[in-house]
């Protein structure tokens, strides 16, 4: 237990160092770039640079959202307004894109977060590694480091202790142990506090949240209606071109067999064989069609086993970890299943990965699923991307999608759906 706690404190120390570095370098640079770019809008240059800078800023913020979910299980929803698909190209499109991004309240929350991140966020994050390093330094002083320091510059103040002899160095070692014990108990809380601060700044106010929710529900309702109509057309087309055609052909063959069974038994036997093959193919197509609507294994055995069955059919090795204490409602379960299916299909088709991992957990009232591959990266959520469809599918249930896919990989697609398990 103590070893596990020590490992957690050390890991939190490393995480705090990463967060502080990102805040003091990434956030400072992006805040400077964004401020200068927006200031240059009146002279025209900012119209072209601002969308690019804000896109970088959103990637920076989304990366922090992902780390919040992975390291501290703190959920910070993505609240950006999607850009319309009919944004024009060229100079007019740049002006339009710049205007749309600046009118998005989330953009200004991102700017406020940069200020909070480079000040309070950085201070909270850096405390975690500082406690460990200060503790180690106190032990090093007692080990003899105090001598060259005192000889070079006189009495050394270690926190509030004046170190000028071996006795005071031993006191410094005791104080260093105290810092390390404090780190053992508070480091993970400091990292969580950093993400809580980010969430407090990035999350919209109550009124704004309600307005966004109404807009989102209106949009997802239209999406659901469009998706439902498209799905019906697909089913009709598949039935017409597949099973229905085979059943018609089989009926014609049976009619021919009836006429030939006494005149030409050999040909009748051959046609019977073809009719049997057609019936088997029609049955297979009907099963595939049913599986595409609602897989039987999902209805009978739940999301975990359905995803395991999905992974077994992949052409690359896939590992599935499931920790679900129950089952969500059927619509949520179905949405999660098809979202995972789409993410796995993308990983196999486009990433060039030779290994895939799926992890499903339930924490803080939300179903969380991550699909990770070791491919070439570069996946984005945008018009024409399969991930956009996944985002819309999850949006129907107030779910969110986050994608981390740097060039060279790996790619991690994280999905969260607020729900209850039964």
Instruction: Note the pLDDT of residue 24.
Output: 92
Considering 61-75, 122-136, 139-153, the range whose residues carry the highest mean pLDDT is 122-136
Architecture of domain 300-418: 2-Layer Sandwich (3.30)
Q: For the chain, give the mean pLDDT.
A: 86
The pLDDT of residue 18: 94
8 A C-beta contact, residue 414 and residue 370: yes
The segment(s) of the chain belonging to CATH 3.30.565.10 are: 300-418
Taking the model in full, what pTM does it have?
0.57
Residues 269, 262: Cα–Cα separation, whole Å: 11
Give the model's pLDDT for residue 122: 93
Is residue 215's pLDDT more than 80?
Answer: no
pLDDT greater than 90 at residue 16:
yes
On the question of pLDDT at 72 being above 90, the answer is no
Q: Which of 163-177, 252-266, 286-300, 350-364 has the lowest mean pLDDT?
A: 286-300
Question: Which DSSP helix (H) or strand (E) runs through 161?
Answer: strand 161-163
Q: Give span(s): CATH 1.20.5, the chain.
A: 207-292
Do strands 366-373 and 411-418 pair parallel, antiparallel, or not at all (unpaired)?
A: antiparallel
Q: What's the CA gap between 266 and 323, in Å, rounded?
A: 59
Q: Give the start-end residues of each E strand in 324-399.
A: 356-363, 366-373
pLDDT at 109 over 80: yes
Confidence (pLDDT) at 282:
81
Residues 366, 369: Cα–Cα separation, whole Å: 10
Q: What is the pLDDT of residue 382?
A: 64
The reported pLDDT for the residue numbered 17 is: 93
Q: Tell me what pLDDT residue 384 has.
A: 59
**Cβ neighbours around 361 below 10 Å, total:** 15
pLDDT tens digits for range 279-305: 888 888 787 777 777 777 888 888 999
Query: Tell me, what's the pLDDT at 45?
Result: 85
The arithmetic mean of pLDDT across residues 160-166, rounded, is 87
Report pLDDT digits (tens) over 34-48. 999 999 988 888 888
Q: From CA 266, how far away is CA 264, in angstroms rounded?
A: 6
Cα–Cα dist 226/233, whole Å: 11
pLDDT above 90 covers what percent of the chain? Answer: 30
Which class is domain 207-292?
Answer: mainly alpha
| pLDDT, tens digit (0-9, with 9 covering 90-100), for 90-107 | 778 888 888 888 988 889
Average pLDDT over residues 73-98: 79
For residue 15, the model assigns a pLDDT of: 92
48-62, 81-95, 399-413: lowest mean pLDDT where?
A: 81-95
pLDDT of residue 383: 54
Per-residue pLDDT at 1: 67
Q: Which two tokens stand for residue 407?
A: 């060039």
Could you read off the pLDDT of 295-339 as tens digits, one per residue? Answer: 778 888 889 998 998 898 888 999 999 998 989 888 888 889 988
Backbone region of residue 85 per phi and psi (left: phi > 0; alpha: psi in -120 to 50; beta: other values): alpha
Q: Which residue has the higher pLDDT, 387 or 63?
A: 63
Residue 23 pLDDT > 80: yes
pLDDT at residue 238 in the model: 78
């Amino acid at each position: 237990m103590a070893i596990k706690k020590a490992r957690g404190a050390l890991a939190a120390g490393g995480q705090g160092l990463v967060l502080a570095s990102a805040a003091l370098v990434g956030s400072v640079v992006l805040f400077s770039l964004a401020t200068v770019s927006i200031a240059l809008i009146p002279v025209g240059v900012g119209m072209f640079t601002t969308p690019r800078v804000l896109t970088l800023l959103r990637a920076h913020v989304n990366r922090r959202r992902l780390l919040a979910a992975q390291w501290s299980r703190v959920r910070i929803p993505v609240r950006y307004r999607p850009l319309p698909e009919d944004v024009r190209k060229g100079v007019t499109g740049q002006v339009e894109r710049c205007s749309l991004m600046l009118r998005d309240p989330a953009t200004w929350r991102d700017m406020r977060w940069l200020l909070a991140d480079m000040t309070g966020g950085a201070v909270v994050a850096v405390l975690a590694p500082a406690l460990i390093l200060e503790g180690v330094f106190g032990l090093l002083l007692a080990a003899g480091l105090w001598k060259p320091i005192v000889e070079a510059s006189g009495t050394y103040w270690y926190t509030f202790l004046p170190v000028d002899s071996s006795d005071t160095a031993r006191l410094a070692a005791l104080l260093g142990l105290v810092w390390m014990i404090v780190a053992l108990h508070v480091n993970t809380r400091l990292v969580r506090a950093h993400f809580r601060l980010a969430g407090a700044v990035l999350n919209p106010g109550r009124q704004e949240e309600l307005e966004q929710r109404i807009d989102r529900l209106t949009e997802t309702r239209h999406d659901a209606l469009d998706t439902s109509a498209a799905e019906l057309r697909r089913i009709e087309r598949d039935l017409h071109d597949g099973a229905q055609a085979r059943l018609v052909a089989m009926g014609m063959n049976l009619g021919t067999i009836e006429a030939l069974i006494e005149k030409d038994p050999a040909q009748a036997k051959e046609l019977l064989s073809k009719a049997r093959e057609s019936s088997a193919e029609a049955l297979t197509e009907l099963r595939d069609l049913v599986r595409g609507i609602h897989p039987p294994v999902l209805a009978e055995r739940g999301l975990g086993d359905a995803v395991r069955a999905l992974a077994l059919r992949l052409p690359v090795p896939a590992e599935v970890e499931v920790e679900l204490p129950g089952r969500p409602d059927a619509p949520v379960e179905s949405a999660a299943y098809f979202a995972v299916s789409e993410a796995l299909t993308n990983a196999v088709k486009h990433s060039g990965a030779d290994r895939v991992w799926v992890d499903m957990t339930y924490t803080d009232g939300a179903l969380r699923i991550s699909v990770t591959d070791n491919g070439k990266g570069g996946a984005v959520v945008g018009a024409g991307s399969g991930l956009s469809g996944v985002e819309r599918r999850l949006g129907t249930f107030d779910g969110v999608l986050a994608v981390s896919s740097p060039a060279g990989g790996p790619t991690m697609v994280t999905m969260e759906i607020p729900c209850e398990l039964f």
